[in-house]
Structure 1
Amino acid sequence: MKIAIAGIGGVGGYYGGKLAYAYERGGQHEVYFIARGGHLAKIKENGLILDAVDGTYTCRPKLATDKPEEIGTVDMVILCTKSYDLEETAQSLKPIVSGNTYVLPLLNGVENDVLLRRNLGKGKILNGCAYIVSYIEKPGTVKQDGGNCKLFFGGIQEQVEELEYIDEIFKGAGIKSNLQRDIDTAIWSKYLFICAYAGITAYYNTTIGPIIKDPQNIEMLRGMMTEVEQIARKKGVPLPDDIVGRSMKLALGMDYDASSSLQRDIEKGRKNELEIFNGTIVRMGQELNIETPFNKKVYEGIKNRL
């Protein structure tokens, strides 16, 4: 199988690195990296160094490039860019995507498959999410130091049986792959947690520790999660009955100094995913006639600071 990884940051560097390392010598599968800048230059020079909890790997793709057209048509492309770059990235991938190419986004957000169908207009669009803490430590090196590294994916139009081969490829590379019959449940379950956690840490511009010391903030966090749950259920997503309780338990058990990428990006004045998180919930609430006062407070409060 010919596989391209678009975006070799924390997520793409880990999963793409695992795939490249596993299949470099086997010849059974070819792995290509789409990266840019100094990071790409170092990968071309030395391979990608993946410093993971389970070991350090030198990962050498078949080709690393910033020009997708150099790769040619692929059997699968895995998108690992930031969510706000999805539409631009989709346009750049058109030269390598055919009607039979599987396209798997591993991005934040709950509308990635919809946006891909709109912007690609071809390919077999899947959806997925991952539980991982990883980042570019320096050009050419990706460090993974948290998360259980589980990857969830599935299709909407495709039957699950068609995707079992991809699941085998992932597992053969040491990836904790979980093929889902209803991928929306996995995506919204993660989104419910990360949307509230990212939003509240960005709103108060601090780590989770000081926030959850205040009972009022705990209720605010719970309220944000409940609003996401209400929207998901209105859309027909079969979330677990105790999803808010489970997510609150996870939040309250986090390290005192845990921060979100949204909080860090806003603090440093970088492009951020506010619209992907709380902005999306406010918009969907308006569309579905569901009140979202907690997410609206966070969204508007942060917008007024930007």
Structure 2
Amino acid sequence: MEIRYAALIGLGAMGSFFAPRMEAKLGRDHFRVVASGARKERLETKGVTINGVNYKFSVRTPEEEGPKADLIIMAMKDMGLLQAIEDIRNLVGEHTQILCVMNGIESEEKVAAAYGWDHVLYSYMRMSIVMKDGVADFDPNWGTVHFGEAKNETLTARTQMVRDFFEACGIPYVIDEDMKRGIWFKFMCNVGENMTCALLGIPFGAFRTSDSANELRRAAMREVMAIANRLGVDLSEQDIEAQEKTVKNIPYGNKPSTLQDLEAKKKTEVELFAGTVVRLGKKLGIPTPLCYVFYHGIRVYEEKNTGEFDPR
């Protein structure tokens, strides 16, 4: 079996990594973006600009009947996941495979609860994309999508199918031998980097020069590591050390998604990041004082952005 019809829901920063290359491979009639209402109208009239090129992709509404998708990429923010699970229902057929590349450690379980594990592969992204007002800029060859079964010592037929498709599209990918460990490693890095930058209002470049910023980043990562270890996921100080070079090679002015959201006065994914750490820490009896500060501090910024503290 091969992928002949594909869909994407969530044409934001992560979605922009996939959409141009998938459309170029499949053609407009075989690749659709799922959207409705004002978002559909905006995508059809203004489109999105990705690395200097404006695209107006074919849009399919959730209610629209049509061919089932061989592959669905879910790339929305965490707060939109439950709605997106319903929005793709008309696209899911007998052989459909779903990659939910969004941040966090629990999205696959939520999608599988709706459609079954036969339709869901584990996945996550490793890249930094700046997107503002429908304009995304990034090096398309720098980032990667990671995907596969929970364990990938031997590749299953569906993993090979997605691999062959990404190769045909020119989409950089990695198939982790242990995908759950990879997802937890990404989550650990995200909590350390995303939360530190958001609370302090600093770009990734600060990690090149600021010892204090790095102390906070590493301390948050260790809170995640302690939880992961308790849950049987083998993360260690060597993993934290391995991230040092990567984080310091991210373009200096790039900002993580939570800081971008705060600056745009949007709701953030703090519940997904620090909130998850605090929740699991309480459940497992593991102290998470830094993530507690991250969580409530960023929530205060969100409240400030709504004008809650405006004396008028």
Pair 3,283 (structure 1): closer, same or farther in 2 beyond 3 Å = same
- Contact kept, 8 Å, 2:67 with 2:91, in 1: the verdict is yes
What does residue 267 of structure 1 align with?
263
Alpha-carbon spacing, 1:212–1:157, altered in 2? closer, same or farther (3 Å): closer
Aligned to 1:98: 93
TM-score (norm 2): 0.81
Contact conserved, 2:74 with 2:98, CA < 8 A, in 1? yes
Determine the C-alpha separation between the residues in 2 that align with 1:217 and 1:44: 42
Deviates more, 1:239-248 or 1:34-43: 34-43
Deviation of the 1:268 alpha carbon: 3.1
Shift in alpha-carbon separation, 1:303–1:142, aligned structure 2, 3 A: closer
**Equivalent in 239, 243, 249 of residue 247 of structure 1:** 243
Matches of 2:199 and 2:187, distance apart in 1: 17
Q: SS in structure 1 opposite 2:121? A: strand
Deviation at 1:161?
1.8
Match of 1:4 in 2: 7
Q: Which residue of structure 1 lines up, in the alignment, with residue 31 of structure 2?
A: 31
Q: Is 253-262 or 282-291 further displaced after alignment?
A: 253-262
- CA shift, 1:151, in A, is 1.1
Any conservation in 2 of the 1:24–1:60 contact (CA below 8 Å)? no
- Aligned to 2:144, the other structure's residue is in SS state strand
Give the share of equivalent positions with the same residue, in percent.
22
Structure 2 counterpart of 1:226, one-letter code? R
**Structure with greater strand share of residues:** 1
SS at match of 2:142: strand
Rounded to whole Å, the distance in 2 between the matches of 1:240 and 1:47 is 43
Paired residue for 1:161? 156
Change (3 A) 1:240 1:164: farther
Q: C-alpha offsets along residues 214-237 of structure 1, whole Å, 9 cap, x if unaligned?
A: 544432221101111222222222
The one-letter code matched in structure 2 to 1:4 is A
Give me the whole-angstrom Cα distance separating, in 1, the residues matched to 2:47 and 2:208.
Answer: 42
Alignment pair present for 1:84 and 2:87: no
1:59 to partner: Cα distance: 6.4
**Structure 2 stretches lacking a partner, 5+ long:** 304-312
Aligned twin of 2:300: 304
Partner SS state of residue 187, structure 1: helix
Quote how far apart the aligned CAs of 1:246 are. 1.8
| Equivalent residue number for residue 16 of structure 1 | 19
Q: Give the aligned residue type for 1:273.
A: E
The corresponding residue for 1:129 is 124
1: CA distance, partners of 2:192 / 2:259 = 12
